[in-house]
Chains A and B, each alone.
Chain A
Amino acid sequence: MDMMNDLTRLVSAFGPSGAEKEISQVIEELAQPYVDEISRDTLGNLICHKKGSGPKIMFSAHMDSIGLVATHIGEKGFVHVGALGGVDPKAILYTPVRFQNGTKGLVCRNLGVEVEKLKVTDLRIDIGAANREEAEKLIRVGDPAVYATPTEQMGNRVASPYLDDRIACLVLLMAMERLEETDNDLYFVFSVQEEVGTRGARTAAWAIAPDYGIAVDVTMADDQPDSKHAATALCGKGAAVKVMDRSLISSPALVEKLMALGEEKGIPVQRDVLQSGGTDAGPIQATRGGVCAGGISIPCRYIHSSTEMVDLDDVCACVNLVRAFAASKLEK
């Protein structure tokens, strides 16, 4: 796999929450060589199965992204929007966007509202239409749009839209490519609708009924200027082992196991305590009679803006930690 090439493919594939068809096809194609079976469930989760006779491990990386959705087309052709997931209206002003049919647009705002008080419903998308009639030929109410910002390497880091959570999709794909021999029964789930409330992982976890669940996601990097310290992970310091986020407190034994694996295999690891945001690990943990669950995360700056940033060494550390856990000896 060519890392930057595949990452560019993954981040540019269309896949906002609820419309993950295109991204799931890209992932399916990339995953095909490495697993025994690929299926899709009712909600659209892509489930890649590498069969084994041992304990069942479910890794989950969500393939959906945040975005905007057209709710109304105004007389002058400006498109009114709603949020798909946690959209900060101030952070995406004047971001270029695109709809699935290729229609391009620019996020602008209702000038009657102060920027400080801006809500998502005050945003508009200018799609270059002269009026409503022209706009209605290009898009319809209910059509989602995604950020169309570029992907660039900067030093050892990469800046791109939708590293949340396509970078984790890449981590799983890279780990699948280089799996070690193991009896563990491995499920790699690319889940849907995480950004609107971890809805996909809930039903996938029910169907799989795993013994162990690991969400692979980005986590907030605590190294931005004047950071409020609502998180602990730092860019460049390795794979972040989830201790807790808003959706779960990881199984303590699993945290210790992942930290020990890092030590043993020489993989840089750091403990990750996140006080905002949830992950697929939450619904996986609470499935059926309960699942031993935790998370492996890539520290990420500027999460949910139109350009996020991660460190490539952290990405490799996460790949190696996923591989190590997938091949580790576990009790059923």
Chain B
Amino acid sequence: MIETLKTLCCLSGPSSYEDQVRDYIRSRVEPYADSVRVDALGNLIVFKRGAKAAGNKLMLCAHMDEVGLIVKSVTDEGYLKFGCVGGIDRRILLGKRVTVGEKATPGVIGLKAIHLTTAEERKDVPKLSDLYIDIGAKDKDEALAQVELGDVCTFVSDAVEFGDRMLKAKAIDDRVGCAVMVKLLEEDLPIDCTFVFSTMEEVGTRGAFGAAFSVTPEVALVLEGTTSADIPALKPERQVCWPGKGPVLSWMDGGTIYDRELFQLLRDLAEQNGLPWQMKHYLSGGTDGQAIQRTKAGVRVTGLSAAVRYLHAPNSVCSITDAEQMLALARLFIRAMAER
């Protein structure tokens, strides 16, 4: 599990450029799947038969894409001006390494030198429009020989285990969900399951919208990485959830009120099997659940997430134990669905 997660985190896959992630997952799961297809939006849809036939009744979903940057213009000096793909806090961008485009041209996010700034400017975080990517080009022409307008950029960050079973990496949101699904696919399942590795979640749950429409499940389990803020400066009610305290069970967020009965089922399963669980103590964010729930005549959705610090930043942190417990709880959930 942990090696799979580390490998997945290091792959590049900003929204709608998920190819690397999709190719890797496909190669991992194809030997275990009964059918594998990629739809028009790039979703990887994997069906695996279980001991009990159920057709498309149960769907699991995790998104492959991550947040990134996109090149909007090139200055005469050869610097790249960029926009954000998905929600990025500009405070985390300064001085970070990125790769640009399919050729993975190395770059670094630069900024006006400190001696040129006013005291007033130094008090504030620079605006996105003041930042640029330096790819070492001497002028515009040389830059354009390396990159094109519209090229997407990925953060450069390795996956490192540290401290008390913690993992530092980029894109833990949502490679942790992908890793759980890859591991589940390797197992014998008690019931037919459709696994959707979705695209474009970070720009508005767009991939899952199409995938849920074609799959039309009755029940969907969304596996996610969710924001945690258990840092010393914040009061407990603003910390949201806590890495190391177990999988986060979804009950409500900015996009979905999750199925109450399935929430209770997950909670009971966790308690009966000695797994810790937690709820978010602050309403924020959204998941593919919002697109899946409102598909056709409606789908019952529930969710399991890992609490992730510094979500959407080049260096996110989660608990490896949480990820393993997510896998265990997802497995129990599938079994409970088979017993219905």
Contacts and interface: CB of A to CB of B under 8 A. Distances in A.
Contact of B252 (A18, A43, A199, A204): A18
Interface in B220-247: 236-237
Contact of B300 (A42, A45, A193, A206): A42
A203 B251 CA distance: 20
10 contacts: A41-B297, A42-B298, A42-B299, A43-B293, A71-B281, A71-B283, A141-B279, A142-B251, A199-B293, A207-B297
B91 interface: no
A17 B298 CA distance: 16
Using C-beta atoms within 8 Å of the partner chain, give the interface range for chain A. Answer: 20 to 34
A173 interface: no
**Interface core residue of B294, B299, B300 (most chain A CB under 10 Å):** B294
B335 interface: no
Contact of B257 (A17, A74, A80, A83): A17
A140 to B, nearest CB: 9
A80 B256 CA distance: 20
Given A42-B297, A82-B252, A193 B281 contact: no
Given A17-B257, A80-B237, A71 B282 contact: yes
Interface residues of B, number: 21
Interface in A202-257: 202-204, 206-207
A80 B298 CA distance: 31
Given A17-B257, A18-B257, A142-B251, A43 B283 contact: no
B260 interface: yes
Interface string B276-320: 000111110000000001111111100000000000000000000
A95 B293 CA distance: 33
Nearest to B237: A72
A61 B99 CA distance: 52
B252 A72 contact: no
A82 B294 contact: no
Contact of A203 (B260, B279, B297): B297
B294 A199 contact: yes
A317 B252 CA distance: 38
A74 B281 CA distance: 11
Contacts of A141: 279, 281
A69 interface: yes
Given A18-B260, A199-B293, A142 B279 contact: yes
B314 to A, nearest CB: 29
A196 interface: yes
Given A41-B297, A83-B283, 13 more contacts: A17-B257, A18-B260, A42-B218, A42-B298, A42-B300, A43-B298, A72-B236, A121-B282, A142-B251, A199-B294, A202-B294, A207-B296, A207-B297
A19 interface: yes
Nearest to A19: B260
Contacts of A204: 297
Contacts of A72: 236-237, 281-282
Interface in A1-53: 17-19, 41-43, 45
Contacts of B296: 203, 206-207
Nearest to B239: A72
Contacts of A71: 237, 280-283
**Interface core residue of B260, B263, B298 (most chain A CB under 10 Å):** B298
A39 B281 CA distance: 35
Nearest to A124: B237
A17 B281 CA distance: 18
A118 to B, nearest CB: 16
Contacts of B279: 141-142
Nearest to A64: B257
Which are the 10 A-B pairs with shortest beta-carbon distances? A18-B257, A203-B298, A42-B298, A82-B283, A207-B297, A72-B237, A72-B281, A43-B298, A142-B251, A80-B237
A247 B297 CA distance: 20
Contacts of A17: 257
B252 A142 contact: yes
A80 B294 contact: no
Interface string A74-99: 10000010110000000000000000
A202 B297 CA distance: 8
Given A71-B282, A71-B283, A196-B257, A206 B297 contact: yes
A80 B252 contact: no
Contacts of B260: 18-19
Contacts of B251: 142
A251 to B, nearest CB: 23
A74 B238 CA distance: 11
Contacts of A206: 296-298
Contacts of A142: 251-252, 263, 279
Contacts of B283: 69, 71, 82-83
Nearest to A17: B257
Interface in A111-126: 121
A19 B282 CA distance: 19
Nearest to B282: A71
A286 to B, nearest CB: 12
Contacts of A41: 297-298
A199 B298 CA distance: 9
Contacts of B281: 71-72, 80, 141
Contacts of B300: 42
Contacts of B218: 42
B330 to A, nearest CB: 21
B70 to A, nearest CB: 28
Nearest to A83: B283
Contacts of A74: 236-237
A204 B298 CA distance: 8
